[in-house]
Amino acid sequence: MAGVIRRLDETVVNRIAAGEVIQRPANAIKEMIENCLDAKSTNIQVIVKEGGLKLIQIQDNGSGIRKEDLEIVCERFTTSKLQTFEDLASISTYGFRGEALASISHVAHVTITTKTADGKCAYRASYCDGKLKAPAKPCAGNQGTLISVEDLFYNVQTRRKALKSPSDEYSRIVEVVSRYAIHNSGKSFTVKKQGEMVADVKTFASASVLDNIRVLFGVALSREMMEVGCEDQKLAFKLKGYISNANYSVKKCILILFINHRLVESCALKKAIETVYTAYLPKNTHPFLYLSLEIAPHNVDVNVHPTKHEVHFLHEDCIIGSIQKHIESKLLGSNSSRTYFTQTLLPGLSVSVSDVKTSSSSTADHSEHVYANQMVRTDSKAQKLDAFLQPANNLSSVPCLIASPPKLVPATADFEADINDGPEELLVNATHDMQINSAHVQSEAPLRKRPHVDEEKEDVTLACTPQRRVIRLTSVKELQNEITEQAHKGLQEILYNHSFVGCVNPQWSLVQHHTKLYLLNNTKLSQELFYQILICDFGNFGVLWLSNPAPLYDLAILALDSEESGWTEEDGPKEGLAQYIVDFLKKKAEMLEDYFSMKIDEEGKLTGLPLLLDNYSPSMEGLPLFILRLATEVNWDSEKDCFHDFSKECSYFYSIRREYTLEPEAGTDLAGHGEPVAFPSELGQGANPSHARTHARTLARSLARLEEETVVPGGKPRSMGRTCKLHAHRAKDCFISNLWA
């Protein structure tokens, strides 16, 4: 037999609808806070008892409710914000259906006390099931509205039993009010339990968004917040807010999202943002975000959920994609504050996972026989005690090996290295026997330390190592990306895991990688090394101070007198060209000092050069030509070309140049000298352009195929042929530590 269809009683219908709108005390408070904000309130106070189940009292200083409207204020579908359905397309208020107070009155006892600005007194009225119990009575009161909700869900016992403990409900209330307090920074919010003197939420009308985040979520979070903001006229949206940087994370993602000032949720946007943070945060950690998204009202549908915690809007995928890109760009340049908790290890003792696996597997395969031609007797990661000792001999006698580190004394100690007396005696006279003070480093320059620095030097160096400067120039980013894209993995592996054998002459060095011996061009590789340092450490250099400033005019004259300048009489008088170079470089002095730590004073004198490697200074014989080429070979009109050209010219000047070094005397034993400070092994730590392959060629396909076995560190070859016999001695292993660290 078919069931009889009956019309539900109006009380039942209203109670069912109330259960959809008011699901727990926090929902009731959310609806009433929105009514307060629609009434232009600037001070909202919430008092709660037993998690809101026993009492909710919310008071504001808004416009109030007229006495004539008190009779219908708690009836369904009564509102002052909407007249026609078309008004939904441009609705800018929180409420529009007129269901909030009606729903609350069907599941609780409601009392409203209100006073308007032009009212002589306040009026109090009580409601039950949406109806006024008795006519409103006049009473004393301040301007605004006071709503008391008692015994929430008194007539819906199943809902009341389903709710968790009062403390849990109170936590949800605090969370809701905190979110509205952050978004409405120009208004004061207060939340406290009944009878308590101290409020759990207290914000002030004069506080900013960041101030409210600091009060509600802690100082640690506020320090790591970044402001975001973007706008797209085509998609008709505007975004503003704050997000946590890569240094802050929580166990659960906190996204405070307001769309057209309405607290909502968006799973798609939340997922897209978390995808961006995956590359920056540790595993299983999440960010904190507050976002306020304003979309053209005609593009938003707010009437999609009873509690209004969801909205739909046009171009959702495009808007989310635009927000995702903006946040990603903000995070990309936000590593100025980042903290890692690490354990201190001795140099050379760090072991990667792959090393552990290799070690364990090698034990199992120990029984396998290794033939002599496949055996590698050197380890690129091994270090000797010699690396931590000061060499006894003076390495300056062998030009291809850069002088050992200077003695560092406290405070402003200077290391002075005399320019090598060479064929350019005129240069030495013109610069008054220039000397380099390389230990005096500006505060913005982190030093690259070698492993053999003693304790005293370590202390001084660490004191000069401040926080790195973050460079966000697009041109620099592009140049850095070009280096990475041109990397050659094969050469990178060789330079990263090689063992230094020794110097052939000032231009060539021998290194061993596995069972192969390579002859490296020191000039080409050091030039590439310094170029990469200039680009990758852009704006973070120290200063090599000149003890006697070098006049740019004298340097330009010296350069024009040399054959390399290519000067002819058609170019004009040298004096005029030299003065032009001085005036031109003086105009660029501020930029050169800011980005490259190259200092030129007001008198046109060069006072400092960039410190690219600790304890390394370029050969001053090439300084005049370097100054000349800066004025003639650098494209100063394009930012990217300017940085590229300057870095190329500077790296050429700093590179190990055979023409500026003296050949070792016949019979000189190079085995007693260590690896050059600027030896290009550091390229193995960075990116290596593929064109650098031409600067490293295999000297022998396999050491085992030579007449005798592989050169062993510290050992002597028996018979290796004329080519290798001269370079068989192993240099003291002063292996350079990772300069990119």
- pLDDT recorded at residue 193: 95
Distance between CA 675 and CA 412 in Å, rounded? 28
Taken as a whole, the chain contains a residue count of: 741
DSSP H helices in 116-206:
157-162, 166-183
Helix (H/G/I), strand (E/B), else coil: 721: helix
Alpha-carbon span 254 to 424, nearest angstrom? 67
Residue 663 is predicted with a pLDDT of 58
Strand-pair partners of 227: 242
pLDDT at site 501: 82
Q: CA end-to-end span of the chain, whole Å?
A: 83
Q: Which segments in the chain show pLDDT lower than 50?
A: 88, 95-96, 346, 348-367, 391-465, 671-674, 678, 680-741
* Closest alpha carbon to 111 in 32, 10, 14: 32
Q: What is the pTM of this model?
A: 0.47
Q: Is the dihedral of CA 307, 313, 318, 322 positive or negative?
A: negative
For residue 516, which of 712, 710, 731, 691 has the smallest C-alpha distance? 710
Query: What pLDDT, on the 0 to 100 scale, is given for residue 80?
Result: 56
Q: Which domains, from first to last, does the chain contain? A: 10-206 (3.30.565.10), 218-332 (3.30.230.10), 416-724 (no CATH)
Per-residue confidence (pLDDT) for residue 666, from 0 to 100: 54
C-alpha–C-alpha distance, residues 218 and 275, integer Å: 25
171-195 exposure pattern, b = at least 16 Cβ within 10 A, e = fewer: ebbbebbbbbbbbbbebbbbbbbee
